[in-house]
Structure 1
Amino acid sequence: MDKPTISKNPTKKVASADHKNLSSIAQYLKDAQGSHKRSIPPLDQWQPKHCGTIDLKVLANGEWWHEGQLIKRQAMIDLFATVLWKEDDTFYLKTPVEQIEIEVEDEPLFVNQVDQIDIEGKTYLQLKSTTQDLIIVDAEHPIFMRPFKDELRPYVHVRFGINAVIQRAAFLHLVEMGELSENAQGETVLSLKSGDLDLHLGT
């Protein structure tokens, strides 16, 4: 079976050799952030130049591949997840000085944990991603269903137009927290509540 690779577009330049090494990019990001504490940089305030593409692909199953090799260092994936950017349906790694296009099969983030938390007397759904994002489900970060290939998948909006796929085990936990019913068309509907937000998801 062929390893995943980036499809080359002859009209797009490839990022220079200085930027093709993910370890170098990772070190740059660490130095730029200046802290070991994970935080999301103000990507919306940065206006870097476009620096072509890099042979980096995020598969629909959550795997990250670089130049045909599976990235196994979770700390590196976590770091790159903090600088994910989406623009005109294209995904990038974005720093203050460069914006490099990557390939994403579906969405680049993945939820693997679901909890309920209390905030000022109200119960909210809190989702955690494999890259340490904490998402409180509300009107700006709703859960929704969307088809991908031949299946209907659950998602939650995270930031900058980027969503996270809710993985199967986490979604089953959500089902346990909600209520299942049938609508007038005989379709199964999952009803969830997070704070004042009521969600009704066709499954």
Structure 2
Amino acid sequence: MSSTGKASDLLAQIPRSGKGLPPVHLWNPRFCGHIDMRIARDGTWYYLGTPIGRKSMVKLFSSIMRRDGDNYVLVTPVEMVGIQVDDAPFVAVALEVLGDGEQQLLRFTSNVDEVFDAGVDHPMRVESHPDRDEPAPYIRVRSNLDALIHRNVFYQLVDLAVPKVLEDGRRWLGVWSGGEFFPIGPEPD
């Protein structure tokens, strides 16, 4: 498919087993260039500059996405195309809190309805961007693909935050999930 090919051609190549995500990590097809597809920071997918309105189509595209180095690609068994991602390819839009204290489990839902629990396999981190005067919180969704944690969900995490002295002696506020402590920010003096 050329870079001007249709997204529907790419979708037609996706094997459908009905169980789990396609094994994109096993597919190594030829790179066919970039297509005009972009994921905005708010999680909106665009094709040819127009938002993709059908959530089922966005979910299908997201199921064949992977990150190779700094590049995001959509992969089928026969071809691979590059796409643009403004920040992270997913947004964590909902949070469910199960339990409390160090036994607490934080269950997130992404904008494409993937559900995952923060922990060793799905670590959280908070970055500071020089161009924004606000924290940028992320959680790993799968492989090396992250979700930006939506502002409302981050506020929920801040409400759950507890202090902890880290190994380097600094006091941080953070949250527990899956037996792991995830720092959010330094504890105020």
Fold equivalence (TM over 0.5) = yes
Deviation track 1:40-66 (CA, whole Å, cap 9, x = no partner) reads 111111111111110001111222111
Change (3 A) 1:182 1:117: closer
Aligned partner of 2:154 in structure 1 is 171
- Report the CA distance between 1:34 and its aligned residue: 3.7
2:135 aligned with 1:152, yes or no?
Answer: yes
- Report the CA distance between 1:137 and its aligned residue: 0.9
Aligned counterparts, 1:3-152, within 5 A: 15-16=1-2, 20-29=5-14, 32-35=15-18, 39-117=20-98, 122-148=103-129, 149-150=131-132, 151-152=134-135
- Report the CA distance between 1:160 and its aligned residue: 2.3
TM-score w.r.t. length of structure 2: 0.83
Change (3 A) 1:190 1:65: same
One-letter amino acid of the structure 2 residue matched with residue 23 of structure 1: S
2:174 aligned with 1:191, yes or no?
Answer: yes
Name the CA distance, whole Å, in 2 between partners of 1:90 and 1:136: 26
Name the CA distance, whole Å, in 2 between partners of 1:159 and 1:195: 16
Paired residue secondary structure (1:62): coil
Change (3 A) 1:94 1:108: same
- Report the CA distance between 1:177 and its aligned residue: 2.5
Name the CA distance, whole Å, in 2 between partners of 1:22 and 1:188: 49
Contact 2:136 2:148 in 1 (8 A): yes
* Structure 1 residue ranges, 4+ long, deviating more than 6 angstroms after superposition: 180-183
Can you give the 5+ residue segments of structure 2 that lack an aligned partner in the other structure? none
Contact 2:73 2:80 in 1 (8 A): yes
Name the CA distance, whole Å, in 2 between partners of 1:188 and 1:196: 19
One-letter amino acid of the structure 2 residue matched with residue 162 of structure 1: L
TM-score w.r.t. length of structure 1: 0.78
Paired residue secondary structure (1:164): strand
